[in-house]
Amino acid sequence: MAENTYYSLLENIEKYLEHQRDEGIQRVEVDRSVLEELAKEPVAEMPAEIVVSANPIPSDFESVEAIAKHISGCTNCALCQERNKTVPGEGNANGPDILFIGEGPGAEEDAQGRPFVGKAGKLLDKMIEAMGYRREEVYIANVVKCRPPNNRKPVREEMEMCLPYLRQQIKLIRPKIIVGLGGTAIEGLLGKPVGITRIRGIWQEYAGLKLMPTFHPSYLLRDPSKKKDVWTDLQRVLAELGREPPARNN
């Protein structure tokens, strides 16, 4: 198999198993031919060495702009090697009601340097509008600030390297509530693996702030039936803020 096909297969298997786990499935049958194909992949095709350089992250940024500037030159993990643009985040950085946190940039985000601007971003915009906000009234960020290759899930080490940026963003932005989009975002914030199907809609706490876990918009694109669950979660957020969703035009 070509290298891209090999890694694509691994990523698809990982996503499938995560979904099955979240649905409570404990046993999965795997076709022997799949295992045989994976076993054929020569070790030589794997990267022999990943070289990154230390880029200490200050603990006393004075603004989100200063954080974004530092992120643009960050080389603390291997994600820096294939990025086009870093994606620090954007929106209202002055005490917004809501901070939305996702997993990491995709292809469109990597190209533009902005979070949630692809298909999932368009859906997130609709979710924000349904809550009665404009995109510029909230803040949107990700756990990692560079795109993982082929949109794979960021590994624990990559998240740990990048989380100091997010922690300081949260401290400076001072949101009233955090909405975590997807299991990876929640895992990064809470520091432990989670099953998003089981934890969504249940209030958590992060850095003294209320954290609402819900499904990632990209998951809703694959399974639109879960949109009603997310809307229930977002209504809980609005209730906590003392707000009601605006009336919908029929």
- Please report, in tens digits, the pLDDT of each residue of the chain (250 residues total): 444 455 455 555 665 565 555 555 556 666 666 666 655 544 434 343 444 556 789 889 999 999 999 999 999 999 999 999 999 999 999 999 999 999 999 999 999 999 999 999 999 999 999 999 999 999 999 999 999 998 899 999 999 999 999 999 999 999 999 999 999 999 999 998 889 999 999 999 999 999 999 999 999 999 999 999 999 999 999 999 999 999 876 5
79/86 Cα distance (integer angstroms): 10
pLDDT score for 101 = 98
pTM, to two decimals: 0.80
Domain ranges of the chain: 3-45, 64-240
| Domain 64-240 sits in CATH 3.40.470.10 | yes
141/189 Cα distance (integer angstroms): 12
pLDDT score for 243 = 96
- For residue 42, the SS3 value is coil
Output the CA angle 199-185-144, nearest 5 degrees.
170
pLDDT score for 175 = 98
